[in-house]
Amino acid sequence: MDVVWYLVLSALIFCIGATGVLVRRSPLVILICLELMLNAGNLALVAFSRMTGTADGQVFALIVMIVAAAEVVIGLGLIVAMYRRRLPMDVDQMSELKG
Amino acid sequence: MSLATYSWLVLAFPLAGSIVIALLWNRLSGRVAGVIASTAIGLAFANAIAATIKLQERPEEARHATSSLWDYAATAGVNVELGIFVDPLALFMCLAVSGVSFLIHVYSVAYLKSDRGYSRYFAYLNFFVFSMLLLVLAGNFVLLIVGWAFVGFASFALISFWYRRATATSAGMKAFVINVIGDVGLVLAAILLQRDTGTLDLPTVFARAPQVFAHNEWVIVAICLLIMVGAFAKSAQLPLHTWLPDAMEGPTPVSALIHAATMVTAGVYLIGRCYPLFQIAPTAADISAVIGTLTLLFAASVALVMTDLKRAIAYSTISQIGYMILAVSIAAYSAGFFHLMTHAFFKALLFMGAGSVISAMAGMQDMDRMSGLRRALPFTFGCFLAGALALAAFPGTSGYFSKGEILELTASRGGLYDVLYVVATIGAFMTALYAFRMVFRVFYGAPCEEAKQLEGGHLAHVEPFNPATGESEDTDVGFPGEQHHVAEREWEMKVPMAILAVLAIFAGLIQVPGVDDLVTAFLEPTFAGAVLHLHASDATQMLVLSLDALCAIGGIALAWFLYVHRPGTTAKLIERFRGLHTFLVHKWYFDEAYELIVVLPVRTVGRFADEVFERQVVQGMVNGTVAAVRAGNSLLRGAQTGVLRDYALLLLVGVGGLALYFLVVAR
Amino acid sequence: MEAIVFWFAALAALVGALGVVFQRNPFYSVLFLVTHLVALAVLFLLLSAEFVAAAQVIVYAGAVMVLYVFVVAYVGGLEDPLTEPSPVVRVLAPLFAVGLFVELCVAIAGSSLKALDSHDAKLAPGFGSPEQIGELFLTRFLIAFEVVSLLLLVAAVGAVVLARREPGDATPPREWG
């Protein structure tokens, strides 16, 4: 299979994830859509790694995975904290950083 | 120690005194500040004496020295050092200044005892003495101008000493502004000299000037006229004299020191010091002589009608300085400086006496309210009488010999100067008249209320008030203290007055015409390069001196007649010559003229600059800029909605934009 | 053969992605994400990245998703409506996403990306194996490895701090009572 197909698929997933981030209102779901975007990036990296024949891309993808895990941990911690403080789980209503 | 060292010490002690008092001002209790200040000046005087002794040990040709602390500026064409020039004239002035200052310091120790600004006063006073000594000892024009400016500042600070009095602060501002006009003249003269002679060092300039400038060339005349502007502003001559009567707002010892004995004589010193320049520009010297004479007549006429005691003495000062200016302008240098010295003695004495009288009158300065203080203030009366005798040039007093010498040398030059001589003699008659007008009005006649109280042993006391406007004040810092001090009760006031009284009467003996001429001999090395060596013939001398004595005695007699023998005469005279009297009382309308010509236009320009230019144009531009920035800001602020998704959208748009850019570029 | 597997896996991935975005219940979104992740693992296998595929399944689909499930269970699935009060974002967002996709495709398929070689490179034996990855981690990418470990530590500590129980917090929901 042409590497190009993988790349196109990766772009598609990325854009679907982007749509999800912009369209959904629950912070939890936004985080999940972020995961989608990260995975799209991973796919692209592994595809490039296959194309060049070096394993650098795979190592990069693994590290992206680790970072994604760390980010998920913090994000979910935030969501739990939000829930505990009885804040509305709605990203549109959390706008105190208004200029 | 060498001559130069002594001279530097003369400068160092008052400066050190001023700094010490200024730093410790609120930790010095009681009269410590006064003691420190007086000691500093006393040491300066001692060092001046030592320097004079050292100077006199040298042969006549070598009686000058320069000494430099460090090179202040050595750039292309300009070489300025922090240096002094010591010669007989400089030391003469140092002795006069430090000696009289020392006596006035001692007087002030008691006079201002109850004033809350005691330390500040002595810090300023010491600084003033330092500046005056710096001016006199300066070895180049830059240092001279520095001393000139410092003296102006000290004068301002001390006139406005009671700073919560509106009249005092406006008087201080007036003095300072007029002084600055003089400063400008002096600086311009220095610039021109630097341009043409290539140096600012005093001895060098005077040596090169005759070679650089042709006789009466317009440049050198201009330079001398500019120097005269500076001198006249500082010495309160026509037309820059209006500040001195108003400067009487300051404490009386300040009037005694600055506005009688020392600062106002700086102009005389300047013209005397720059005599080589005036020699090459006789036109300027003649103009100076004429202005001096006019001034002495003008001031004497106004002093005849002044009712404020201190202002009368102030106009007397202006008049006497007119004599000094006349003297140094017609090349009678030693006569001029001799009169400077005797004037310092008797004028300071008169002011000290006036201070005592005003204290007895509980701050009242109006002579109309004073009478018969002779029995209440016997010591003050004696000293005041001595001063008035010297001022009137009563035969035998110091004033008689000094004024007489000026008059005889004026007469001896002949030509135009005969006119000046006649005017100066009329002025001498008027001087005697107004001097004894003061004496008779204040001390003779029936004792006034305050005098009666004082005879009974009780010093009059009223609620504090402003003598000029009558409005009431308090006695906190910024206003005079609550107590008044008369000489009879304070030994610190008695001793200086006694010393000055003795000097006023007997100091003339050092230069009796035909007998000795110590002053001329002392100053000879400085004026060795003078072209004219004036000497009056014996006949002229006899004539002038007898005429002078006649004027003095005649003036005293007329004053006796008007004020003691027939007290109501002056009222009738005023009635008959009401117009003239009003003209004189308004001081020939100089203040009003200046108000119209100078103050009004400046104020209008200032108002325009403020209301139109500053408020509308400049502020408008600033505000406009601010408003524009704010508008842009609120426009951009719309992007900060606080909603997460808007930010995410912006992010994505940005990423897309970047990718588009790279796509396009790569193609 | 490879193509078929690719197409199936790709389809599964897409379905998962769309499901994530368009499901109202967060719990279902998480499940769709798990599907998507597994499909991606298959794609990684197709690309000879065995270790990455394994890590994807174990770490991502296994651990990270379990975290998500726990939190969703704790916080409660909110059925948030997909319709927006603001039509601007509703219209603009998908539009921009589509625009981005088009751009990327142009970039990928167009002739501007010269580095893209349709012919796959020759693969060395052991490509993508744990040994190779491990060796790379401990030699060339040692610093990245260490840093990322530190990052995990920090994240763990941060999560504990963030999710601390403070006085005044809501008590956990009692769903079975």
pLDDT per residue over B428-451, tens digit each? 999 999 999 999 988 888 888 777
Q: What's residue C112's pLDDT?
A: 44
Verify cis geometry, omega within 30 degrees of 0, for the bond prior to A27: no
Which DSSP helix (H) or strand (E) runs through B85?
Answer: strand B78-86
Phi/psi-derived region of residue B9, left when phi > 0, alpha when psi is between -120 and 50, beta in every other case: alpha
Q: What's residue C177's pLDDT?
A: 46
Which amino acid is present at B165? R
Contacts of B644 in chain A (CB under 8 A): 27, 30, 91-92, 94-95
**Interatomic CA distance for residues C112 and C109, integer angstroms:** 8
The phi, psi pair for B74, rounded to 5°, reads: -130, 85
Query: How near does any CA of chain B get to the CA of C48, in Å?
Result: 29
Question: Which one of B652, B653, B667 has the shortest CB-CB distance to C112?
Answer: B667
Report the residue count for chain A: 99
The answer on pLDDT for B304 being more than 70 is: yes
Q: pLDDT digit string (tens) for B370-417?
A: 888 888 888 999 999 999 999 999 998 899 999 998 998 888 887 888
**Interatomic CA distance for residues B353 and B310, integer angstroms:** 10
The answer on pLDDT for B474 being more than 50 is: yes
Weakest mean pLDDT among B88-97, B113-122, B443-452, C66-75: B443-452
What is the band of C125 on the pLDDT scale with cuts at 50, 70, 90?
confident
Q: At what angle do helices B569-576 and B578-585 cross, to 10 degrees?
A: 100
Give the tokens for residue C95: 């539009």
Q: What's residue B453's pLDDT?
A: 78
Which amino acid is present at B608? F
- The dihedral built from the CA positions of residue B421, B424, B430 and B431, taken in this order, carries a sign that is negative
Question: What does the mean pLDDT of chain B come to?
Answer: 87
Q: What's residue C87's pLDDT?
A: 67
**Interatomic CA distance for residues B587 and A72, integer angstroms:** 95
Question: Which one of A18, A21, A95 has the shortest CB-CB distance to B642?
Answer: A95
**Interatomic CA distance for residues B256 and B351, integer angstroms:** 5
The answer on pLDDT for C119 being more than 80 is: no
| Contact yes or no for C96 and B649 at CB 8 A | yes
C136 touches chain B (CB under 8 A): no
Tell me what the mean pLDDT of segment B148-171 comes to. 92
**Interatomic CA distance for residues C64 and B306, integer angstroms:** 105
Q: Coil, helix or strand for B66?
A: strand
Is the Cβ–Cβ distance between C43 and A42 less than 8 Å? no
Query: How near does any CA of chain A get to the CA of B638, in Å?
Result: 8
The answer on pLDDT for B544 being more than 50 is: yes
Tell me what the mean pLDDT of segment B450-475 comes to. 77
Q: pLDDT digit string (tens) for B221-248?
A: 999 999 999 999 999 898 899 999 999 9
SS3 for B298-365 is HHHHHHCCCCEHHHHHHHHHHHHHHHHHHHHHCCCHHHHHHHHHHHHHHHHHHHHHHHHHHHHCCCCC
The phi, psi pair for B464, rounded to 5°, reads: -60, 140
- Position with higher pLDDT, A52 vs B346: B346
Weakest mean pLDDT among A77-91, B14-28, B129-143: A77-91
**Interatomic CA distance for residues C147 and B387, integer angstroms:** 98
| Contact yes or no for A83 and C74 at CB 8 A | yes
Q: pLDDT digit string (tens) for C15-55?
A: 999 999 988 888 899 999 999 999 999 999 999 899 999 99
Task: Single out the residue of B289, B278, B290 nearest to residue B215, CA to CA.
Answer: B278
Q: Coil, helix or strand for B89?
A: helix
Q: What's residue B232's pLDDT?
A: 94
Which DSSP helix (H) or strand (E) runs through B80?
Answer: strand B78-86
Question: What does the mean pLDDT of chain C come to?
Answer: 83
Residue B43 to residues B36, B46, B95: CA-CA distances in angstroms?
Answer: 11, 5, 12
| Contact yes or no for B641 and A95 at CB 8 A | yes
The answer on pLDDT for B628 being more than 60 is: yes
Residue B647 CA, chain-centre distance (Å), reads: 75
Which amino acid is present at B622? V
**Interatomic CA distance for residues B136 and B96, integer angstroms:** 11
Q: Coil, helix or strand for C177?
A: coil
pTM of the predicted protein model: 0.70
CB contact set of B441 (below 8 Å; sequence gap of 6+):
B367, B370, B371, B563
Q: What's residue B25's pLDDT?
A: 83
Cα angle B648-A30-C91, degrees, rounded to a multiple of 5: 55
| Partners of chain C (3+ Cβ pairs below 8 A) | A, B
What is the band of B75 on the pLDDT scale with cuts at 50, 70, 90?
confident
Tell me what the mean pLDDT of segment C54-72 comes to. 92
Residue B230 to residues A32, B187, B192: CA-CA distances in angstroms?
Answer: 88, 9, 14
Q: pLDDT digit string (tens) for C151-174?
A: 999 999 998 888 777 776 656 555
Tell me what the mean pLDDT of segment B49-58 comes to. 89
Tell me what the mean pLDDT of segment B107-135 comes to. 91
CB contact set of B652 (below 8 Å; sequence gap of 6+):
A18, A22, C96, C97, C100
Q: What's residue B144's pLDDT?
A: 93
Question: Which one of A22, A94, A99 has the shortest CB-CB distance to B649?
Answer: A22
Contacts of B653 in chain A (CB under 8 A): none
C-beta neighbour count of B255 within 10 angstroms: 30
What is the band of B423 on the pLDDT scale with cuts at 50, 70, 90?
very high
